[in-house]
Each structure stands twice: as structure tokens, then as C-alpha cells.
Chain A
Amino acid sequence: MAKLFFPSTLFRAVIPVTAALLLLNACGKSDDGTDNNGNSTDEFKKEMLVNYADNIIQPGYVQLKTSLADLKTKVAVLLSAPSASTQANVKPSFQAAYQAFEAVSLPYFGPAAAQMLNNTLNTFPPGISKIESGIASGNYDLTLPITSDSLQGFPALDYLIFGEGAVDKLADPVSGQNRKQYINDVLERMQLLTDNTINQWAAGYRNTFINSLKTDVGSSIGFLINQLAFEMDALKGPRIGWPFGKQSNGIVFADKAEGYYSAISKELAVANLNAVKQYYTGGSAKGIDDYLDLLGKTTLNDDVLAQFTVAINALQAIPAPLSAAFTGSPATVEAAYKEIQKLLTLLKTDVASATGVQINYMDNDGD
């Protein structure tokens, strides 16, 4: 015994162990924050993540790809013969594709984040004057990060195809050509980034995703829970609250809403919230809801599910189009806004707390 604790022996053990742990702790996370733990054992969490990857996220991107292809076909008809009827012909496909995007807006991490998919596909409202000057000069670069976000994606298409006088502008023999080219460039970039995202998921990210069983930042569960709150925040603010005038003492900015020109803001909001619910429940298979049950938080889970229903119903109760309801039926919008905030509170506070998810990398000694 005495020999074991002889200072030199003890110290010989202390130094390497401490140094090794120090290094492990300091270097344990890669720069993008993804954590791939090969020794992961939790069967429940793994099944849940496989469900998210294989039944929700990846099929969601494939659906987006399919609907973008369909949209492109319909847009080609419009561009070849701009008219009110070819324009009307685009609308169902546009709405379907936009709604397909709502279904994958939430998993904005991994490949989608690497591609900056959401920023590119759905930064609204569109930067109209910049878009118009780009079309006029034929000089634009859709690959510039951040600065080109509001020049493209669904909001740009929304404006270019359904904005006031869109058909006439497309039919213009002079400026129409540039405009058609711009629309095609936007569509192609949307398809390219969607394809890249699909490929990266298949190529390796799926494996990373399903094996990351921690709940810290950069873990799959951490991503999912933080994104639940993020999407709800975006629904409360940019999608409903800000155009409704919540930030501006009730002064409505209807044209800041998502899908304003095609007048599908309400449908998109409903699609978005339905998607958030699907990411919460994991569909019929294992999801965050089952995880809460596993943790013994059944009442919380019941309350969250009930609040999803209440909030979706409140959104549904707003008369379409949303842009008109902001001023025409503000009480229904206000009611939906309140229910969305309640749901956001539950997800961001109770659910995040119950699952022990962290929001960032900083050292923390327990609040």
C-alpha cells in the first residue's frame, strides 16, 4: 500500500491521466461541432435518430427535389408563353414545392447548413430592388453568401412569377429575356443545393447523425430540439408576428410575409407548423415525444401535443389570404400568435430543459 502511494508513483499516474483528459476535453469537438461517438449504445436514441433520418429528413429532401423538378417544368411552360393561364398553371406546383421546403426547414444542420440551404431557398422578404437591378444589368452572383440570400430562392420566385405585372414583364420582348434567365438561374441553384444536401446525407452524414447520441451542442438530439425552438421562433416572428406589426406597433407589413405575392402565406405557415409537429413526434415511430415519455415526462408531452393541436387550429382559423387577415381579421391572427408563443415557450423552456439539451459550447458550471 505504502509503495503504491509513494509520491513519485502517484504523480507518475496523475500527470499522464490528467494531461490525457485535458487534451481529450479540449480537442474532443471538431470545428463544425459534430460529435461522432463510435461507442454509442443507447438503442432508443439510435432508433429515434434512424427514424428521423430515414423516414422524415431524407424523404423530405427527396420530396423537395421532386417538387422542384415539377415546378421547373411548369415554369418552363410559363416562360415559353407568359400568360395568366400559364401563370395560374405554375401556382399549384409552386405551392407544393414551397410546402415541401417547409417540411425540411427544420433540419438546418449538417449538409443543409453546409450548403446554406435555408438561407438560399427562403430568405424573405425578397430584395426586390436588387433583383430588378440584377435583371436589368444581367449582372448578378447568386453564390455570394448572405448578400445574395434575398435575391433568390422561393421568395424571389414568388415575386418574379406572381408579383404585380409579372406576366407582362416576362412577355416584354426586351427585358423579358433577362428575367427568364434569372428565374432559371434561381431554380437551378435551388435544385443544385437540394441535390447536394441529399447527396451529403447519403454519403456520410446519415451515419454521423444516427450515431451522435449526446445531447450537447452539435449532437443530433441537440440540433433537433434547438431547431424546434428556432422554427417556432421564426413562425412567431418573421412568418406571422413581424408582418402583422408586432415589432412596429401594429403597423402591418403584409408584403414581408412568406409567399406574399402568391398569397399562400397562411398555407405555408400551416405547413411549417405541421412539419414542426412531425419533427416533435417523429411521425408514428420514435420521436422526441416518446423520449419525453421515456424520461417520465408524460404530462409535459401530453401538454405539448395538445398545444400543437390548439396552435394549428388557431392558424387554420385565420381566413386566407393571411396578408388580408392582418388588417381584415386581426383578432384571429392575434389568437394564433398567442398560441404559437405558448407552444414556443413549452418547446424552448420545458422540453429543452427536460431533455438536458445545451445551446452552445461555452463552459458552464450549472447556471
Chain B
Amino acid sequence: MTGTKRYDLFRPVPIAPLVVFRISFGLLMFFSLLRFWWRGWVTAVYVQPKFHFSYFGWEWVQAPGNTAIHVLFGCITLAALFIAFGFLYRIAIVVFFLGFTYIELIDVTTYLNHYYFISLVAFILIWLPANRDWSMDVSIRPQLRCAEVPAWTIGILRFQMAIVYIFAGLAKLNADWLLQAEPMRTWLPAKSHLPIVGPLMYKAWVAYVFSWFGAIYDLFIVFFLLNDRTRKIAYLFVLAFHIATAIFFPGIGMFPYVMIVSSLIFFPSAFHEKLLSRLGWKPAPSLGYNTYNYTRPKRWVVALLVYAAFQVLFPLRFLMYPDKLFWNEEGYRFSWRVMLMEKAGTAYFTVKDGTTGAAFVVDNKAFLTPLQEKMMSTQPDMILQYAHHLAAVYKQKGIQQPRVFGEVYVALNGRRSALFIDPAVDLAAQQRQWTHYNWILPCPKTKE
């Protein structure tokens, strides 16, 4: 896992990779959060909506209001800077993890795989001694300084990267991606404005090249990054791949940069020491130059095994659901499925009074932001939540027994739109659940 010859999680290794990871993660988060704020998204996403889509089981996470959400954002932005500088590190990383995760849990609408990745990495960093060198904490208390850390502290980060890449690769092994080159074939013509490559964007073979290269890259890049002989070349591929993604799909946001920076963790200690030496700043000589030790190593081994098992198994939970994953999206999130689908929908809802039979067509715009409506229109769990919300709202308006019916049309990966859910099912009477929603209609087979 760590490229060692001897399998030993607690073998001491130089701390440098961990320090570089901490600094780059902190800085990247700092600028990402500033960007998010600067673009007005804090208000647009967490203040303006009248209703938020919760995660099942996390309904208690609520938007805290205009002032509080901005204070919270300010706190984690500052915490990100503290993490980079290694100042009050343990407090900063806990604040960052809790704050960031809380914000992400407010609304399903904004779910992104790399936000999940950031939450996981922040969680991992809580337990790692990443501030034990090249940090203000060490400047203030030199006795904390450590030259070496157990190998697993770096290995766990590499493992997390491997999970992201390999599952992203496995997710691409489907007929739409490999045989139809969808959604690339739909998305690339939208990039025909690009200089030089623009005219190629209409060619089907280019979509196939993108698709297959992407799948092969995701599946195997980790192994080339782990190998001493191929690492540098592999990293050039990392750069090329993610910069290309950033150019072709700017809407993907920070993901390419997160991966470019995080992939440095695969480089050996010497590389990271070299990098750090260029910072031109070194804390005062320490009193002792130690190896960081974890007490009760067996407990850490168990914790690592549990975490690793979760990371491997959780993305596979989709196997327990019937029918097509992309259509039903049951077990879709938190599984490193990135840029896999072109999915669009239109949803019409009617609320009927169970006692009088009176019918009211719903104007979605009155309840949801355009982004929320778009996301809701293609995702069954969001459709159900929205229907429950509508039932509550219309009950307040005086409808005795509100029944909610959805006429939803969805188009997926170049297929024509089709009815998505059973329009005769009263969604208000359906429960949120972990098991399959049998009111979802089957995915259409035909393709234009």
C-alpha cells in the first residue's frame, strides 16, 4: 500500500509527504471556499432556497440562516488557512471537518463527489500528526516536532486516492460509456468553440477516445503512480488529464485541482523534502527529533480496517438495488461516479384533496430554485422529498388529505425522454426508505 518492501503499518517514514499534503490541502480549501463565497453561492445555495433537500437520516441538519451560514463559512475558511500554516492544527481540522461536512449535508442539491472527498480527507487528517513539522504549532512548541511518522499515515491518504480513481474507473465500465461514448458524445459538441480542437468535437470517434482514455486512466493511474519507475510519467498524465478536464468541463469546478494536488502524495519523501526546503522557512531546531507514536496500535489497525472496508463496500451498495443504476440513482452518491451521465428532466406535480378530489397544479418555481428543480427532476429520492414538502405546504393551505402525484419525464445519455415515475402513485403516502422505490418506472431501452 505504501510501496514498502516490508508490510508494516507502523514503520517510521519521513513526515514530509504529510506536511506537504496538509499545506496544499489547507491552501486549496482556503481558495476554494473564497471562490465559492465570491461567486455568491453561499447566499444562492444556503440562504435563498425556501426549502432544502436533506439526506435521509440527516434531516436534523438545517440551513442556519443568512448570518450564521456566513459566519460558519468564515470559520472554515479561516480554519483552512490555519491548517495550511499548521496553527492550532488539531482544533482547526476538527472545525473544518465538522463545519464543511455540516454545510454539505444541508442540501442534497449541491452534492459533488469531491465535496465528499474533502470531507473524508478532512476526517482522516484529524487523526494524523500533519502539524508536527513545518508548522506554527512546532514553532511555538518545538518539543512537538517529529521527523518521522508511521507509514500508514501516508498510506491511508494514498488508499483514499486509490479508492477515488479505481471506483471512478469501474463506474465507467458500462455500455453507455464504452459502447455509445455517452455522455461524451452529447457534451463534446458543446465544446466546438475551442481553438484548434473545436471542429473535432462533432466527431464520434473523438468521443470514444475521450471515453476510453478516461476509463483506462481512472482504472490504472494509481498503479503507475505507486511504481517508482513510472511515477513521474504518470504524474504528467495526471496533469494532462485533469487540466484537460478543467478546460473541457469547467463546470466541474475544483475537482481537477483537488486531484492534481492530492496526487502528489504518491511521490517519495525525498521529493516532498525538496519541496519543503524551497519554502525558505524552517522552524527553530527542536529539542528532540522524534518519531510520532500512536498508543494502542492494535486499535488503530482495527480502525483502519473498518475504514478501508467501508470505503470498499459502500460504493458497491448499488448492487443491492434492481434495474439500471443511472436511471434509478439508488446507491449512486458517495461512490465516485463523476461525469457519467447526461440526465435532464421535467417534473409536473398535482396536489389532490383526498376528501374532495379538488386538484391543484403546482408551480415548481414557487418552491424551488432552478438548480433545485433541475436536480429534483431526475432523482427519485428528491422527487419524494419534494412531494412530501408539497403535501405539508398544501395541508397548511387547508387541503385536508393532500395526495401528491408526479408526472416526470427524464432523458438519460442520449435517450429520448420517458415517463420516470408512476403518475398514479400518491407520493405523499410513500415513505423515504433505503430499499428500492417500486414507483420508479423502468429505464427505456431505445436510443435515437
Q: Is B343 an interface residue (CB 8 A)?
A: yes
Q: Is A363 an interface residue (CB 8 A)?
A: yes
Q: Is B186 an interface residue (CB 8 A)?
A: yes
Q: Which residues of B contact A216 (CB under 8 A)?
A: 190, 250-251
A113 to chain B, nearest CB (A): 15
Q: In the complex the two chains form, is A45's CB within 8 Å of B254's CB?
A: no
A40 vs B252: C-alpha distance when bound (angstroms): 21
Segment 311-367 of A: residues with Cβ below 8 Å from B:
341, 344-346, 348-350, 352-367
Q: Which residues of A contact B278 (CB under 8 A)?
A: 8, 11
A297 vs B267: C-alpha distance when bound (angstroms): 47
Residue in B closest to A303 when the chains form the complex, CB atoms: B416
Q: In the complex the two chains form, is B371's CB within 8 Å of A362's CB?
A: yes
* Given known A42-B198, A367-B378, contact A354–B193 (CB-CB < 8 A): no
A17 vs B250: C-alpha distance when bound (angstroms): 16
Segment 346-366 of B: residues with Cβ below 8 Å from A:
346, 348, 353, 358-363, 365
Residue of B190, B232, B271, B343 touching A355 (CB-CB under 8 A): B190
Residue of A40, A233, A346, A367 touching B341 (CB-CB under 8 A): A367
Q: In the complex the two chains form, is B252's CB within 8 Å of A363's CB?
A: yes
Q: In the complex the two chains form, is A356's CB within 8 Å of B189's CB?
A: yes
Residue of B112, B193, B275, B340 touching A364 (CB-CB under 8 A): B112
Q: Is B257 an interface residue (CB 8 A)?
A: yes
A8 vs B358: C-alpha distance when bound (angstroms): 72
Q: In the complex the two chains form, is A18's CB within 8 Å of B257's CB?
A: yes
Q: Is B93 an interface residue (CB 8 A)?
A: no
Residue of B189, B358, B409 touching A249 (CB-CB under 8 A): B358
Segment 259-318 of A: residues with Cβ below 8 Å from B:
294-297, 299-300
A22 vs B253: C-alpha distance when bound (angstroms): 9
A249 vs B195: C-alpha distance when bound (angstroms): 54
Residue of A5, A25, A360 touching B246 (CB-CB under 8 A): A25
* Given known A40-B193, A356-B186, A362-B110, contact A346–B363 (CB-CB < 8 A): no
Q: In the complex the two chains form, is B195's CB within 8 Å of A10's CB?
A: no
A215 vs B39: C-alpha distance when bound (angstroms): 20
Residue of A28, A295, A349 touching B345 (CB-CB under 8 A): A349
Q: Is B417 an interface residue (CB 8 A)?
A: yes
* Given known A18-B257, A21-B246, A214-B193, contact A354–B110 (CB-CB < 8 A): no
A25 to chain B, nearest CB (A): 6
Q: In the complex the two chains form, is A247's CB within 8 Å of B361's CB?
A: yes
Summed over the interface, the residue pairs from A and B with CB atoms below 8 Å come to a total of 166
B444 to chain A, nearest CB (A): 12
Residue in A closest to B378 when the chains form the complex, CB atoms: A367
Q: Mark B245-281, 1 if CB is under 8 A from A, else 0.
A: 0110011111111001100000100110011001000
Q: Is A163 an interface residue (CB 8 A)?
A: no
A28 vs B249: C-alpha distance when bound (angstroms): 13
Segment 118-135 of B: residues with Cβ below 8 Å from A:
none
Residue in A closest to B448 when the chains form the complex, CB atoms: A299
Q: Is A14 an interface residue (CB 8 A)?
A: yes
Segment 186-218 of A: residues with Cβ below 8 Å from B:
213-216
Residue in A closest to B417 when the chains form the complex, CB atoms: A349
Q: Which residues of A contact B438 (CB under 8 A)?
A: none
Residue in A closest to B31 when the chains form the complex, CB atoms: A22
Q: Which residues of A contact B389 (CB under 8 A)?
A: none
Q: Is B237 an interface residue (CB 8 A)?
A: no
Q: In the complex the two chains form, is B186's CB within 8 Å of A358's CB?
A: no
Q: Is A243 an interface residue (CB 8 A)?
A: no
Residue of B343, B360, B448 touching A248 (CB-CB under 8 A): B360
Q: Which residues of B contact A350 (CB under 8 A)?
A: 344, 411, 416-417
A143 vs B371: C-alpha distance when bound (angstroms): 30
Q: In the complex the two chains form, is A363's CB within 8 Å of B411's CB?
A: no
- Pick from A8, A25, A299 the residue with the most CB of B within 10 Å: A25
Contact-size category for B: 35 or more
B146 to chain A, nearest CB (A): 22
Q: Is B374 an interface residue (CB 8 A)?
A: yes
Q: In the complex the two chains form, is A213's CB within 8 Å of B193's CB?
A: yes
Q: In the complex the two chains form, is A364's CB within 8 Å of B252's CB?
A: yes
A7 vs B180: C-alpha distance when bound (angstroms): 40
Q: Which residues of A contact B363 (CB under 8 A)?
A: 237, 247
Q: In the complex the two chains form, is B31's CB within 8 Å of A354's CB?
A: no
Q: Is A37 an interface residue (CB 8 A)?
A: yes
Q: In the complex the two chains form, is A18's CB within 8 Å of B339's CB?
A: no
* Given known A18-B261, A300-B448, contact A366–B338 (CB-CB < 8 A): yes
Q: In the complex the two chains form, is A356's CB within 8 Å of B243's CB?
A: no
* Given known A5-B232, A359-B371, contact A353–B342 (CB-CB < 8 A): yes
A75 vs B363: C-alpha distance when bound (angstroms): 37
Q: Mark A11-39, 1 if CB is under 8 A from B, else 0.
A: 10010011001100110100000000101
Q: Is B322 an interface residue (CB 8 A)?
A: no
Q: Which residues of B contact A91 (CB under 8 A)?
A: none
Q: In the complex the two chains form, is B239's CB within 8 Å of A364's CB?
A: no
Q: Is B52 an interface residue (CB 8 A)?
A: no
Q: In the complex the two chains form, is A14's CB within 8 Å of B239's CB?
A: yes
Q: Is B199 an interface residue (CB 8 A)?
A: yes
* Given known A18-B260, A366-B340, contact A359–B370 (CB-CB < 8 A): yes
* Given known A344-B346, A363-B253, contact A249–B360 (CB-CB < 8 A): yes
Residue in B closest to A11 when the chains form the complex, CB atoms: B275
Q: Is B22 an interface residue (CB 8 A)?
A: no
A356 vs B261: C-alpha distance when bound (angstroms): 29
Q: In the complex the two chains form, is A366's CB within 8 Å of B341's CB?
A: yes
A358 vs B202: C-alpha distance when bound (angstroms): 19
Q: Which residues of B contact A107 (CB under 8 A)?
A: none
Q: Is B410 an interface residue (CB 8 A)?
A: yes
B78 to chain A, nearest CB (A): 20
Residue in B closest to A249 when the chains form the complex, CB atoms: B358
B125 to chain A, nearest CB (A): 21
* Given known A28-B250, A249-B360, contact A345–B409 (CB-CB < 8 A): yes
B183 to chain A, nearest CB (A): 7
Residue in A closest to B113 when the chains form the complex, CB atoms: A365
A39 vs B343: C-alpha distance when bound (angstroms): 30
Other than the known A297-B448, A359-B370, A365-B114, what 13 A-B pairs have Cβ atoms closer than 8 Å?
Answer: A7-B267, A17-B243, A41-B194, A215-B190, A250-B359, A345-B346, A349-B409, A349-B411, A360-B370, A360-B371, A361-B39, A364-B251, A366-B338
Give 7 closest A-B pairs by Cβ, nearest first. Answer: A363-B253, A366-B339, A213-B193, A356-B190, A353-B344, A249-B358, A215-B190
Question: Can you list 7 A-B contacts with CB-CB less than 8 angstroms, sorted by A residue number?
Answer: A7-B271, A11-B278, A18-B257, A41-B198, A237-B363, A345-B346, A353-B343
Q: Interface on A for B, CB 8 Å cutoff?
A: 5, 7-8, 10-11, 14, 17-18, 21-22, 25-26, 28, 37, 39-42, 44-45, 213-216, 233, 237, 241, 246-250, 294-297, 299-300, 341, 344-346, 348-350, 352-367
Q: Interface on B for A, CB 8 Å cutoff?
A: 31, 35, 38-39, 41, 44-45, 110, 112-114, 183, 186-187, 189-195, 198-199, 202, 232, 235, 239, 243, 246-247, 250-257, 260-261, 267, 270-271, 274-275, 278, 337-346, 348, 353, 358-363, 365, 370-371, 374-375, 378, 409-411, 414, 416-417, 448
